[in-house]
Structures are given as C-alpha cells and as structure tokens.
Amino acid sequence: MNIEQAFEKSLIELESKGFDGIREPERVLATIWFVEAEVNNGGFDQLFYNTAGDIAFYAAKALDSIGAHKMAGIAQKALDLFGEDSPPKNRDERVNALEEISEKYEEYLNKLDYEFTEYPDNIQKLLFAYVQSNF
C-alpha cells in the first residue's frame, strides 16, 4: 500500500468509525493529513478553527509516531497555548478559546506556522517508512 492509499483508508475509517474506533496507525495518518492540510492552507489558527481541529489534540503524538520530532515539537507549542487540556475536542469551545489565544499570540502562531511549513523533518520519507511498517 502506498502513502496515498494509506491516507485514504485512514480517512475513510475515521469518517465511518470515529477517532476512538480506529487503529492507532489510522489515527496517526488521519491526524497528520488534517494537520498538514490545515496548517499549510491557513496556519494553526485554521486547524483549530475548522472541524479538523476536533483531532488536533493528537497532532504532536501523531508526528512523533512517524519520527517527525521537530514538527511534533512545533505542533506541541501550538497545542500548549490551550493550557493543560490541549484544544477542546468540541468545536464551539475550541473556537472560543482560540479567539482569546489568537488575539494574544498572533505573532507567535504565525512564527509556528512558518516553522512547520518549512518542513524541518523529511515527512515524506518518514511517512513512507511508517506506512510500510503499519499497513
């Protein structure tokens, strides 16, 4: 199975069974898919604002799972802005918290967006190895 097929399988499983109902490798890939898509398109603000943010709490763990430790660290810094509870899974609660955070930490979030999208880890190579080992 190639990376695209593994992503597709993971997203289908997530949609049909929910986050808690899928295997760990599928959680990892689905989370990475949404994190990359949202942060590349509109930054961590967009990730947390959209429904993809429902699983944003898992971003650092998912990236660590494939060996993307630098990117995981960047994601964790964004998650830490929500405090110990990470971003709420409930979108309305998360958006309310995000409004306060965005206003206070706008420049910091922009810095994290830039660092993340510079891809300090070779994520394609790491994803390839992860998919080969888990799918």
CA-atom Rg of the chain in angstroms: 14
Q: What is the DSSP letter of 116?
A: H
Q: What is the DSSP letter of 84?
A: T
Location of structure tokens 């990475």:
32
| Confidence at residue 102, expressed as pLDDT on a 0 to 100 scale | 85
Q: What is the CATH number of the domain that holds 110?
A: 1.20.1420
Q: Judge contact between 104 and 82, C-beta under 8 A.
A: no
How far apart CA 110 and CA 115 sit, in angstroms, is 9
| Confidence at residue 85, expressed as pLDDT on a 0 to 100 scale | 78
Domain count, the chain: 1
Residue 19 has a CB neighbour count (10 Å cut-off) of 16
| Confidence at residue 5, expressed as pLDDT on a 0 to 100 scale | 97
Q: How far apart, in Å, are the Cα atoms of 48 and each of 4, 5, 18, 113, 126?
A: 24, 26, 18, 12, 25
Instruction: For residue 46, give its domain range.
Output: 3-134
The tens-digit pLDDT sequence of the chain (135 residues) is 999 999 999 999 999 999 999 999 999 999 999 999 999 999 999 999 999 999 999 999 999 999 999 999 999 999 999 998 789 999 999 999 999 888 889 999 999 999 999 999 999 999 999 999 999
| Confidence at residue 10, expressed as pLDDT on a 0 to 100 scale | 98
Phi/psi-derived region of residue 43, left when phi > 0, alpha when psi is between -120 and 50, beta in every other case: left
| Confidence at residue 9, expressed as pLDDT on a 0 to 100 scale | 97
